[in-house]
Structure 1
Amino acid sequence: MAHARISMYMPPDIDPTKAAIAYGCRALPKLNEELQSPNLQTRQKALVALCDLMHDPEYVYEAINIGCLESLKTLLKDEDNLVRIKTTEVLYIMATHNVGRTGFLEHDIILALSHLLDDHQIVCRENLHQAYKHLAQLPAGARGIVNSGLIPSLVWNLHSEEEYIQEIILDTLAPCLQEDATEALDSHAVPCFKEKLQSENRQLRSKAARALIAISIPLEGKQQVWQHEVIPILVDLLLDPDEEVQGNVAGALMHAAVTTEGKYAALDVDAIAPLLELLCATTHSKVCLNTIKALTMLAEAPEGRRLLQPHLPTLRVFLQHKNEAIQRAAQIAIKVIEWKP
């Protein structure tokens, strides 16, 4: 006679949306075969299972070696929304690992992903921008994005994307512009960054200022920041309540004030007063360092030196700072302010 008994073991973990994973070394080859299946449900289940496995860099390495990236490139063109969403998710997860980023460069994933920049599925676009963001953290990855000609498209997407995706795009652009800012300057990136500086979203303000630092490295970038009247906005943001915004804005102002036009544009809007106020109020090393460097740039103008000479005691305090970079910056600032022709 049968009896009703409750097992002491947990029930099996069965997910009907996920493909069954084969045992051992057969797991990834089987999933790769299923990625190429003509059956839609089989492809979808394989992608869901692959998303779980790609969190492990060892599986990422094996997946690249057996040709999964080529299968995924094909699936980026799939007509099914879920397939494209899960494919971009797999690639995004792979891009969080160094081995995955290297694989992207070897298998031309950058351009393959770019075909979905205007995909109607917002999750697809978010995933691909996350993948680009992680790829750009690698210098070779940032160069790959620049060399693929994607900078104008990324700048253009800053006008149309949701705010949280705009933040990701700015994170991608900053390291890319450090490699080469030419295409961004030609694509009117500076006015776009200027617009984002005035956003109510503090993350957008901070990331836009960081992108301005990168685009201001070449002379043309410094000139455009002055020509598009970004400097008055930077000065206003020096007293922003967010420390990350303050640090990036001070850094952008420092770069912009390298040129004579930039120095006088900053002096014309009384940049020295908020810089000194920020310097006295902050304990944040990045804010402190960038603020001292910005003051040094302004001190190179005779008017700036004259205004800063009464404040030398304030700067001498930083000669004893625990951060050696801040000590050196203070030494240079004092030397420039005390210089006499």
Structure 2
Amino acid sequence: MFCPNKNSFLQMTVAMNPRVINKAVRRAMRKKHFDPHDELPPTQRLESMQPSMFAPWVDITRAHLGFGRRGLRLINRELNSEDSLVQLQAIHSILDQVQIAENAMFLIDLNVVYRLIDLMQDRDPIVREKVAYILTHLANYHQGRQRIMSRPIVIDHLIYLFMRDRKEIRYVAALLLKTLTRDRCSCEIIMKNNNIIGSLLKMIKDDYMTIVIFHLNSLKYLTEWDPVPSLKANAFQVMKKLIKQQEFKIVAAAMDCMVQLLKHDVGKKLADQHDLTHFLRKYLLSPDIEVVMATAGLMCYTTLTTRAKWRVKEYQYDFTRRLVSLCVSHNFPVLQLRCMQVLINLCDSPDIRAHLKKHWEKRIMTINIREHEQWDGTSETTSYGLETGHNYRTMCIEGVETIRNDYGDSIHAVNVTSYLRRLQEVKAHLIEAINFQPHIN
């Protein structure tokens, strides 16, 4: 149930008083339930509301200067102050102002990035944390990424932060690295650092779940740019161990990362040696839909080789039945596209093609594909917007991943209509592949 003391953001954005919702739920359950968080004054607050790093004598919610172009120049100047208190106040003020796009662009033009990169080595942990937060916001802009990556020393600072610092700073450093790696030009500069891949693989093995997921996303984008360093660092074996974990989010992120490894010929050979398709079969039955989608995406690459197709023939009935049922029972465009692509890959084998035509052709014809009004063009299935329709002003704002092309020199977001048209074409291609007869010209 809702609690304003546990989630202040929810309290601010929901029009109804959360206590009214709690009262209605308790009345419907006909059960008396005492929650100390609902009482006044609030007690037993969450641990996350009590940070372990404090900024003494600084009101982190209010800036001490009036703003405008003149105020921003003064704040930028105070970053170089010898007084640690003035410097700390300036950092918190800048963190407030970078939330506004216009002020963030003006601060970028003032070359605030260069001073912030120097402050990443400050002795005060609160300074290191807030500076990483500011750089993360600035890295969302093209000009900000250009200024940040013009100083490659920032990668060495990030490696030191997410490997040796405390957990709050490791979290922010991982978030900053993930934000930088989403840009392909930044990946080219980051990959020139010989320690980045090894450091990421080392920290992936033992850290908090959210930090591990950030590292996996960073490794995915870096491997997409150049898979060779990751393969040399035994990333394939590390990803396979992560897939065996219990956390669904880590499993799905590790599979997405392994997809980039299998785009290289060495990765495909490793997949055949480890019999990866047989290893991934049980994950198609996972209760988490994100894991199922990631498994289908990984199988699109594991089933490309002849050796993998011959191996699938040993369990083709159960395997094809599960793939077809996923296409028919779910209407997630991403899942349907990936499952149908796996079936198209398997149709290269005459025995599997004949099996599909005999048993599953009629069910494949009944695959239902969404209309463009029913889908907002994202791959996230837990998004609040997907559950409530086209309600973009929701109380839950997530970092939703937009569907992108995974080929070509420039990766852009795909139009919803063109993506669904591509889904129709893949379905037609699958039906054509099932009915293919090589002896007929």
Please list the CA deviations of residues 224-254 of structure 1 after superposition, one character each: whole Å capped at 9, or x if unmatched: 2232343223221112222222222111101
| Worse-matched range after superposition: 62-71 or 109-118 | 109-118
**2:272 corresponds to:** 226
Structure ranking higher in helix proportion? 1
Residues 264 and 16 (structure 1 numbering): CA distance in 2 closer, same or farther, change over 3 Å?
Answer: same
Q: Does 1:133 align with 2:140?
A: no
Over 6 Å off, 4+ runs:
none
Alignment of 1:145-156 (within 5 A): 145-149=190-194, 150-156=196-202
User: Could you say what secondary structure the match of 1:117 adopts?
Assistant: helix
Partner residue, 1:118: 163
Q: Which residue of 2 aligns with 1:5?
A: none
What code does the residue aligned with 2:232 have? D
2:191 partner SS = helix
SS in 2 for 1:160: coil
- Bigger RCO of structures 1 and 2 (CA < 8 A, at least 6 apart): 1
Q: Provide structure 1 residue ranges, at least 5 long, that are not aligned to the other structure.
A: 1-13
1:74 equivalent among 113, 118, 123: 118
Q: What's the counterpart of residue 40 of structure 1?
A: 84
The answer to whether structure 1 residue 263 and structure 2 residue 321 are counterparts is no
Which amino acid is the alignment partner of residue 99 of structure 2?
A: H
TM-score by length of 1: 0.87
- Which residue of structure 1 lines up, in the alignment, with residue 262 of structure 2? 216
Q: d(CA) in 1 for partners of 2:149 and 2:207?
A: 26
Deviation at 1:321, TM superposition (A): 7.0
Q: Is the 8 A contact 2:328 2:368 kept in 1?
A: no
Percent identity, please: 21
Residue 71 of structure 2: aligned partner: 27
1:315 to 364, 384, 409: 364
Alignment partners' CA distance in 2, 1:295 and 1:25: 59
Distance in 2 (CA, whole Å) between partners of 1:191 and 1:305 is: 32
Count of paired positions: 328
**TM-score (ref. length: structure 2):** 0.69
- Contact residue 185 and residue 221 of structure 1 kept, 8 A: yes
Deviation of the 1:144 alpha carbon = 3.0
Distance in 2, matches of 1:68 and 1:170, equals 29
Query: How far off its partner does 1:211 sit?
Result: 1.4
8 A Cα contact 2:328 2:364, kept in partner? no
Q: CA deviation at 1:19?
A: 5.5
Aligned AA for 1:207?
A
Q: 1:207 aligns with which of 223, 230, 253?
A: 253
Question: Does the 8 A contact of 1:190 with 1:228 survive in 2?
Answer: no
CA contact (8 A) 1:318 1:326 kept: no
Cα 1:203–1:276, aligned 2, differ >3 Å: closer, same or farther?
A: same
Query: 1:152/1:265 Cα in 2 relative to 1: closer, same or farther (>3 Å)?
Result: farther
Distance 1:94 1:30 in 2: 19
1:173-188 equivalent positions in 2, closer than 5 A:
173-188=219-234
> In 1, are the aligned partners of 2:242 and 2:250 still within 8 Å (CA)?
yes
Question: Which secondary structure state, in structure 2, belongs to the residue aligned with residue 72 of structure 1?
Answer: helix
Answer whether contact 1:279 1:291 (CA < 8 A) is retained. yes
* 1:47 partner amino acid: I
Shift of 1:15: 6.0
Which amino acid letter does the alignment assign opposite residue 261 of structure 2?
Answer: I
Q: Distance in 1 between matches of 2:273 and 2:94?
A: 50
**Does the 8 Å contact 1:319/1:328 carry over to 2?**
no
Distance in 2 between residues matched to 1:85 and 1:66, nearest whole Å? 21
Partner of 2:22: none
**Any residues of structure 2 matched to 1:233-244 within 5 Å, and which?**
233-244=279-290
How far, CA to CA, are the matches of 2:424 and 2:69 in structure 1?
56
1:127 counterpart letter in structure 2: V
> In structure 1, what residue type is equivalent to 2:226?
D
2:423 alignment partner AA:
I
CA RMSD of aligned residues (A): 2.4
Q: Any conservation in 2 of the 1:110–1:144 contact (CA below 8 Å)?
A: no
Between 1:137-146 and 1:278-287, the stretch displaced more is 137-146
Which whole-Å deviations, capped at 9, do the CAs of 1:206-230 have from their partners, x for residues lacking one? 2222212222212222222232343
Q: Does 1:63 align with 2:107?
A: yes
Instruction: Decide whether the 8 Å contact of 1:174 with 1:211 is kept in 2.
Output: yes
Distance (Å, rounded) in 1 between the aligned partners of 2:274 and 2:90: 50
2 CA distance for matches of 1:81 and 1:256?
45
- Report whether the alignment pairs 1:288 with 2:321: no
Q: Contact conserved, 1:222 with 1:256, CA < 8 A, in 2?
A: yes
Unaligned stretches of 5+ residues in structure 2 = 1-56, 372-419
Look up the SS of the partner of 1:300 in the other structure: coil
CA deviations on 1:141-199 (whole Å, 9 max, x unpaired) are 33333333422322222112211111111222222222211111111112222222222
Contact 1:110–1:148 (Cα < 8 Å) also in 2: yes
Q: Residue by residue, what CA displacement relative to the aligned partner does 1:300-320 show, whole Å, maximum 9, x if unpaired? A: 123322321212222233498
Q: Give the direction of change, closer, same or farther, for the CA distance of 1:268–1:144 in structure 2 (3 Å limit).
A: farther
